[in-house]
Amino acid sequence: MLNFEYYNPARILFGKGEERQAGRQAARYSAKKRILLHYGSGSIKRNGVYDRVVASLKEEDIFFVELPGVVPNPRYSLAQKGIQLCRENDLDFILAVGGGSVIDSAKCIALGTHYQGDVWDYYLDNGKPVEHDVLGVGCVLTIPAAGSESSTGSVITREEGLLKRSYDGEVLIPKFSVLNPETTFTLPDYQTACGASDILAHLMERYFTQVPHVDVTDRLLEADMKTILYNAPVALREPDNYDVRAEIMWAGTIAHNNLLNTGRVGDWGSHNIEHELSGIYDIAHGAGLSIVFPAWMKYVYKDNIDKFVQFAVRVFDVQLPFEDKERIVWEGIRRLEAWYQSMGLPIRLSDANIPGDRLEEMAKKSVLHCEHVGHFKKLYAEDVHEILKLAL
């Protein structure tokens, strides 16, 4: 196990009706009681979450300016508009109501409001130190998926060049996040499936490490993966099952609040490759991951076959003679693909109607601002190209 420092101050309010606390929480962190209310394309108005959140803001006499219109794979241009609104209206806090896209857009606005330059500088230089005030962000999460409700990350797509890039920093961890599983009852099946796929990917990215002796986090990751593998299919059959939605929602936050990263180095190659897919073809992140992850596994497993054997045996209960490692690994990958398909997710580029004519371009773009992606196995442009070919 490696040395580590763990810090995650996101306050979590979990359970039925908790969105009614959004106003009280926002009042704690907004000294001026002047906030930006940021949301997506209307799901929160249809399912009543908007009304309950607005009522809670009014109860606390909080002045708010609304900025709706965040789309999946959130765009830089809308975040720029948010930065302008915060400056013009002297707002000091952002309440994001929705999924990862809304939260990431809110984080970008928070980072950009008091920055003298172009906030895109941060997305081009992940790791750039923050030397200015960053607004606080609070969330009411309505889809378990990205984990942005307690993560350091923000992922934004810039229309010009279709570049999807992320910035990670402690300053972006939300001050509080409300997680009410009831708000997820209205999710379309496809979004439930994409969310589950993203959560599973966050766990697998961390699981596949070359760092030895990480038993505690290995076992916690396996438990979280099994929770998703079991509960997500039930959520498709029983969308209003509170207990199942609650398991998925909490599993999703734990998967990405970095606790399960402690003492190990995660891979993240599949995420970087997927960002090129959703950047160009605008597919859901979770659907891109169900295409990329099996291909990545097939390409890299020989670099530490025992880790893949452990995954197949412990997570997918593969029972074959132990000396037959290759068969065990391939059976594990086959079961993962079968699970994705049972959830209605694509496992090949062709399943998502993505043609094979821009693979090389995506491979080159994935390493445009870094030398390589991935840590389990370092991947250069030619490796990424091979992985994308395996996904055809």
The sign of the dihedral angle between the CA atoms of 15, 19, 24, 25 is positive
Give the binding range for ligand NZQ (CB under 6 A) out of 14-22, 56-64, 131-139, 191-199. 191-199
Give the binding range for Zn ion (CB under 5 A) out of 29-37, 198-206, 301-309, 347-355. 198-206
Give the binding range for ligand NZQ (CB under 6 A) out of 26-34, 39-47, 123-131, 339-347. 39-47
- Nearest distance, CB of residue 73 and Zn ion, angstroms: 12
Q: CA nearest 103: which of 62, 133, 74?
A: 74
By CB under 6 A, is residue 42 in contact with ligand NZQ?
A: yes
Query: For 284, which DSSP code?
Result: -
- Nearest distance, CB of residue 242 and ligand NZQ, angstroms: 14
Strands 93-98 and 63-67: unpaired
Do 226 and 116 form a contact (C-beta atoms < 8 A)? Answer: no
By CB under 5 A, is residue 274 in contact with Zn ion?
A: no
- Nearest distance, CB of residue 378 and ligand NZQ, angstroms: 20
- Nearest distance, CB of residue 241 and ligand NZQ, angstroms: 15
What whole-number distance in Å separates Cα of residue 186 and Cα of residue 184?
Answer: 5
Query: How many degrees, rounded to 5, is the angle at CA 60 between CA 54 and CA 63?
Result: 65
By CB under 6 A, is residue 47 in contact with ligand NZQ?
A: yes
By C-beta, is 73 or 113 nearer to ligand NZQ?
73
Four-point Cα dihedral 284, 286, 287, 291, nearest 10: 140
By CB under 6 A, is residue 101 in contact with ligand NZQ?
A: yes
Question: Which one among 18, 104, 198, 276 touches Zn ion, defined by CB under 5 A?
Answer: 198
Query: For 369, which DSSP code?
Result: T
By CB under 6 A, is residue 195 in contact with ligand NZQ?
A: yes
- Nearest distance, CB of residue 3 and ligand NZQ, angstroms: 24
Q: Which residues of 75-109 are buried (b: 16+ CB within 10 A; e: fewer)?
A: bbebbbebbebbeeeebbbbbbbbbbbbbbbbbbb
Question: Which one among 72, 136, 269, 332 touches ligand NZQ, defined by CB under 6 A?
Answer: 72
Do 220 and 114 form a contact (C-beta atoms < 8 A)? Answer: no
Query: For 178, which DSSP code?
Result: E
Give the binding range for ligand NZQ (CB under 6 A) out of 7-15, 81-89, 113-121, 149-157. 149-157
Positions touching ligand NZQ (CB under 6 A) are 40-44, 47, 72-73, 98-102, 104, 142-143, 145-148, 151, 153-155, 183-184, 186-187, 191, 195, 198, 256, 271, 285
